[in-house]
Amino acid sequence: MVYVREKYLPNLKEYKYSSVDHSLMSRYVLKPFYTHVVIKCFPMSMAPNLITLTGFAFVITNFLTLLWYNPGLDQDCPTWVYYSWAAGLFLYQTFDAVDGTQARRTRQSGPLGELFDHGVDALNTSLEVLLFAGSQNMGQSWKTVATLFASLLTFYVQTWDEYHTKTLTLGIVSGPVEGILILVGVYAMTGYMGGAHFWQQSMLATVGVPQTLSIAGTVLAIPSWLYTLSFTEWYMVQGTIVLVYNTVESARNVIRARRARGDRSRYALVGLVPFFSTWALIVAYLWLQPNILHNHLVPFVLFAGIVNAYSVGQMITAHLVQLKFPYWNVLVLPLGWGVIDSLGPVLQTHTPAPWLGWPSALGDGVYQVAFMFCMLGAAIGVYSSFVVDVIVTICDYLDIWCLTIKHPYVEGQDEQKKKEKPTTPAAVKGSNKKKQ
């Protein structure tokens, strides 16, 4: 399947990367560390995309240790596992940030780098959700699903924002910077505290806050539902606040950008519909199939993550070659069929008109599990096809390689080209006269 038509490829040469980072941590701590220390560890012969892929290998290693020690997301791991997760995620963040610096110093900056970087980040998002759930002993539950929803929405909205504003905007608090550093701290603290069970305690009671306070003779009592919230639940509350704030800010950025160009903002907001439509199906499927939710959530999270990565990849590609916004995701079709198949027996059993329902072709046992794994396999196949096709198309058109440097930069070659090639019509005319 062809994902980028040849007539749109010339738009790649008009691409210019634009970003705004409001993070104080990034500006005053991380970027100086990257540019003055870390970048010196990489040779000039190493391609920026290879740095990105190497960083992602640390996350894959973390995920494999999760599957080995805590596949149900509800057990404590050896303390060294949590420390390795913290180190792996920090290294991933570092490699992911340094690839841009490497691209600039090797003169390899271009649209492929942004596409590759976003694609890896999209895959990392769902893996980190599982790792976080494992570090909190969330188990295969709705809490893990809610965390996945928030993480994928954050990434989707950020990419949607970039498509319409043509600029990647990171706020004062953002997932790629502060969010990752918080997770690094959580993983390290989990290891220090002896396991994920620590986070299931009441946070207020653990830090010594009494449930009843006496202030100026007035007795104030903290409601039991609030006082008993665990560390994990407080983290989810904080994440919800940040999610709402960043979503609103991205929407405002898009509205301002479109109005500045004289476009209607309402059409841009429709771009959020595909995400919420997909998640309506995800929630419906898990509600109708509790066996998948409570026993096979890990592979389903991978499926949902790839579905989101495919949507995000389409958006980035459309941004690079100036295509219309991609509203359609073919991977929603098997998910929708699964919901319809599972809904029939519920209508037969729980409605006053049983004729409204229909028997399930898959049931809720082994065939349903097999179907879920088939959805995962289809998602891997479709997304892999997309990634390979787009990367090969861009590399062929720009005459570059993806993981190695095809045309190494030679110091002074830009000045030499300027001397050899006339840059103005007058210069070209003068050159022709001299030849005559």
Beta strands in 95-208 (DSSP E): 168-170
Residues 6+ apart with CB under 8 A from 146: 236
SS3 label, residue 202: strand
| Phi, psi at 16, each rounded to 5° | -140, 125
Using alpha carbons only, give the angle 192, 198, 202 rounded to the nearest 5 degrees.
135
Handedness of CA 292, 298, 299, 301 (dihedral sign): positive
Pairing of strands 212-215, 218-221: antiparallel
Of 102, 88, 87, the C-alpha closest to 34 is 102
Handedness of CA 289, 294, 300, 305 (dihedral sign): positive
Segment 328-332 long-range contacts (CB within 8 Å, at least 24 positions apart): 328/274, 329/274, 329/278, 330/382, 331/306, 331/307, 331/375, 331/378, 331/379, 331/382, 331/383, 332/277, 332/278, 332/281, 332/307
118 is catalytic: yes
Contact 165, 259 (CB under 8 A): no
Q: Residue 316's CB: how many other CB atoms inside 10 A?
A: 23
Residues 6+ apart with CB under 8 A from 25: 177, 178, 181
H-helix or E-strand spanning residue 190: helix 180-192
Q: Is 353 exposed, middle or buried (0-12, 13-18, 19+ CB in 10 A)?
A: exposed
Catalytic position from the list 36, 118, 164, 319: 118
Given the structure tokens 């800010």, which residue do they identify?
249
SS3 label, residue 170: strand
Structure tokens at 317: 């590609």
SS3 label, residue 423: coil
Given the structure tokens 């030679």, which residue do they identify?
410
Residues identified as active-site: 118
